[in-house]
Structure 1
Amino acid sequence: MREVALHAQRTPPRRPVPPPVKGGPGALLKGLIRTARPKQWVKNILVIAAPAAAGRLFSVHALAQLALVFALFTACAAAVYLINDARDAEADRAHPVKRRRPVAAGQVPVPVAYAVGGALAVLGPAAAARLTSPAVAALLMAYVGMQLAYCVSLKHVLVVDLAVVTTGFLMRAMVGGLALGIPLSRWFLITTGFGALFMVSAKRYSEAVQMAGKAGATRALLTEYTTGYLRFVWQLAAGVAVLGYCLWALEEGGDPHTGVLPWRQLSMVAFTLAILRYAVFADRGTAGEPEDVVLHDRALAVIGLVWLAMYGLAVANW
C-alpha cells in the first residue's frame, strides 16, 4: 500500500486532453467567426473619430476609405484573437468558462487557428499598403506586433498591460485620420488616449472588485494590482480626459459667434456628464464590460446623443 501511495505521489498531474475536432466545414467556419469575437468589433467604430472631429465624414470617398479601414482593422484584431486562443488552448481547457471557446472545445483545430490568424496578420497590413496608405499599413503592422507581444508576455507586466490596451484604442482613433490625411490635434490624442485609459482601468478595477476574496482570477495580473491603485488610475485618467477635451473644444472652436450657439464649447458639459455617469458604474465595480454599460444605460445613451448632436452642430457651423 505504501508503494502504491508513493507511486501516486510521483505521478504528475494529467494535462487536459485535446478534444476531438467537432463538426464539418460549416461548424469550423462558425467557430472561426466566434473566435474572431464579433461582439468586440464595435470598438473599431473608433476609426471614424478623427474624420468626424474634423468634419470630413460625409463624402463618398471618406466613407469608402473608412469602411475599408474598419474591415482591415477588424481583420488584424481577429488575427490576434485567433493566435491568442490557439496559444492558450491548453490552459483554456482547464478553465470553467474559457473551455467553451471554439479552439479549446475542439471546434477549431489549433493548427487551423494559427494558420488563419497568421494569414490575416499578414494580409491586413499588406492590403492596407496597397489600398490605402503606407502610414495606415505601418500602424496596422505596429498594432499586430504590439498585440501579439501582449499575448505572449506584456499582459503579465504591471502597468505595461494597461498601456498596451490603451494604445490599441488610440490606434483605432488615429487610423481614420491617417487614411484621409487629416492632421491629428494634440488635444484629440490626449482626450482619446486618456479616455481609453479611463475605460480600461475602470474595467480592470471592476474585475478586481468582483474577484476580491475569490480564488482563481481570470487574469493572474489582477492579483498584483490593488483596487486602490486601479481606482487612482481611472480617476486620474478621467480628469485628464475631461481637461484635454475642454482645451480641445476651446482651441478648435474658432469664432463662437458664427453659429446660433457655441455648440462646441457647450459640448464640454455633455462630455463631462458622460464621464461622470460612466464613473458611477466604475465606482460600483460594474464596468467590467464597457460595451454593455454604454449600450444598456439609458441615461448614458441620452447624454451621448446630446453630445453627438452638439458636436455635429458645431462641425456643421449651424
Structure 2
Amino acid sequence: MVFLEVLRPKQWTKNVLVFAALLFSVKSATMEMLWRSIAGFALFCLVSGCVYILNDYLDREADAAHPEKCRRPMASGRLQPQAGLIFGLLLAAASLYAGWRLEPWFAALLGAYFIVNVAYSLWLKHVVILDIMLIAVGFVLRAIGGGLVINVAFTPWFLLCTMLLALFLAISKRRHELYLLSDGCGQHRRVLEQYSPELLNQLNSIVTTATIMSYSLFTFTSGHTIQLMWTIPIVMYGIFRYLYLIHMEGLGGRPEKVLLEDVHILSAVTVFAASVLTVLYWFE
C-alpha cells in the first residue's frame, strides 16, 4: 500500500489533460482512440508517480519540517528511501517501454516529460520564475501527449491556453506555500525566499487576463464551430472561483485537492467538459 501512496494517486487528476485531444475530437472519436487515451493517461500517471518518488527522495528532510508533507511515506519514515528510489526507477523503465509499444512518438514525449521533471527536481526548482514555468511545461507536454497517442494535432492557441492555465496554478501554489510557511519558507523550499506575495499577486493578475483572452481567441480561431464561445463564461467562473479560494479561503497549494473537494470548481469543470462535448457534437 505504501508503494501506491508514494506515487501520489490523488495528484493523478492533473493527467486528465491527456483526454483533451479526445474531447475536442469527439465528432471523429472511435473506441480505439478512447482506449489509447486511457492507456496514455495511465502511463502519464505512472511516470509522474516516478517523478514524485524522486521528489520525495530528494526532499525527505525538508518535507519532514512541512506541516502537511511530513506525512508522506519517505518523510515520515514509513518507506525506506533507497527501496522507494529503486521501485521508481524500475517503474519508469517499464512505463517508457509500454509507451514505446503504444506509440513511439508518445514514448519520446513521455521520456522528455520525465527528463524535464528530473532536471526540475535536481536543480531547476531552485531557479526563481523558471521553476513555475517548468511546472506549466509539464501540463503542455500532457496535452501534446494526448494528441500524439491518438494522432490528433492541437492548435497553438489551445497549447497557449494550457500553458497559461498551468502557470496560474503554479503561481497559486507558490503563493499558498509562501503564506503557509511564513518566516520559515526557505527551510522547506529555498526558491520561496525570492518570491513575495506582491510579486505573485501581480504575476497571477497578468496570467489570469492572458488565459481568458487566449481561450476566447481559441474559441473563434481553432477551426471548430464558433459556438464554442458559449463556454467562455464557464472558464471565467472557474478561474474567478479559484482566485476566491486563494485570497479568501487561503487555499490553492494543492490544485488536485481543490478540484476534488470544492463543489464549485468541480461543477465548473464538469459543465465545461459537457458543454464542449455538446457543442462540438451537435454544431461541428
Does 2:171 align with 1:207? Answer: no
Residue correspondence of structure 1 range 268-283 to structure 2 within 5 A: 268-283=232-247
Which of residues 207, 215, 230 in structure 2 aligns to 1:266? Answer: 230
Does 2:258 align with 1:296? Answer: no
In the aligned structure 2, how far is the partner of 1:189 from the partner of 1:124?
A: 25
Q: Is the 8 A contact 2:173 2:254 kept in 1?
A: yes
Does 2:51 align with 1:86? Answer: no
Aligned residues: CA RMSD: 2.2
Aligned to 1:197: 167
Quote the offset at 1:141 in angstroms: 0.6
Aligned to 2:25: 54
Does 2:113 align with 1:143? Answer: yes
Q: 1:134 to 1:56 in 2, by over 3 A?
A: farther
Which of residues 26, 33, 41 in structure 1 aligns to 2:12? Answer: 41
Gaps of 5+ in 1: 1-29, 257-261
Question: Number of matched residues?
Answer: 282
Q: Which amino acid aligns with 1:311?
A: V
Structure with greater helix percent: 2
- 1:169-211 CA-to-partner distances (Å, cap 9, x unmatched) read 1111221101111111111101111011111111211222333
Q: Which of structures 1 and 2 has the bigger CA Rg?
A: 1
Where has structure 1 moved over 6 Å in runs of 4 or more? none
Which of residues 76, 82, 90 in structure 1 aligns to 2:47? Answer: 76
Q: 1:33 to 1:203 in 2, by over 3 A?
A: same
Quote the offset at 1:215 in angstroms: 6.3
Q: Is the 8 A contact 1:217 1:223 kept in 2?
A: no
Aligned to 1:315: 280
In the aligned structure 2, how far is the partner of 1:86 from the partner of 1:306?
A: 38
Q: Is the 8 A contact 1:49 1:176 kept in 2?
A: yes
Aligned-partner SS, 1:212: helix
Aligned-partner SS, 1:317: helix
In the aligned structure 2, how far is the partner of 1:237 from the partner of 1:188?
A: 15
Q: 1:57 to 1:214 in 2, by over 3 A?
A: farther
Does 2:83 align with 1:119? Answer: no
Q: 1:184 to 1:104 in 2, by over 3 A?
A: same
TM-score under structure 2 normalisation?
A: 0.90
Q: Is the 8 A contact 1:37 1:81 kept in 2?
A: yes
Q: Which amino acid aligns with 2:199?
A: Y
In the aligned structure 2, how far is the partner of 1:57 from the partner of 1:34?
A: 37
Q: Is the 8 A contact 2:185 2:193 kept in 1?
A: no
Q: 1:104 to 1:293 in 2, by over 3 A?
A: closer
Quote the offset at 1:218 in angstroms: 3.2
Which moves more between the two structures, 134-143 or 297-306?
A: 297-306
- 1:124-173 CA-to-partner distances (Å, cap 9, x unmatched) read 2222112x222211111111111111111111110111011111111112
Which moves more between the two structures, 268-277 or 134-143?
A: 268-277
Q: Which amino acid aligns with 1:280?
A: Y
Q: 1:95 to 1:226 in 2, by over 3 A?
A: closer
In the aligned structure 2, how far is the partner of 1:183 from the partner of 1:141?
A: 20
Q: Is the 8 A contact 1:78 1:120 kept in 2?
A: no
Give the number of the structure with larger relative contact order, counting CA–CA contacts within 8 Å between residues 6 or more apart.
2
Aligned to 2:252: 287
In the aligned structure 1, how far is the partner of 2:270 from the partner of 2:76?
A: 41
Which moves more between the two structures, 36-45 or 211-220?
A: 211-220
In the aligned structure 1, how far is the partner of 2:129 from the partner of 2:186?
A: 21
Q: Is the 8 A contact 1:56 1:62 kept in 2?
A: no
TM-score under structure 1 normalisation?
A: 0.81
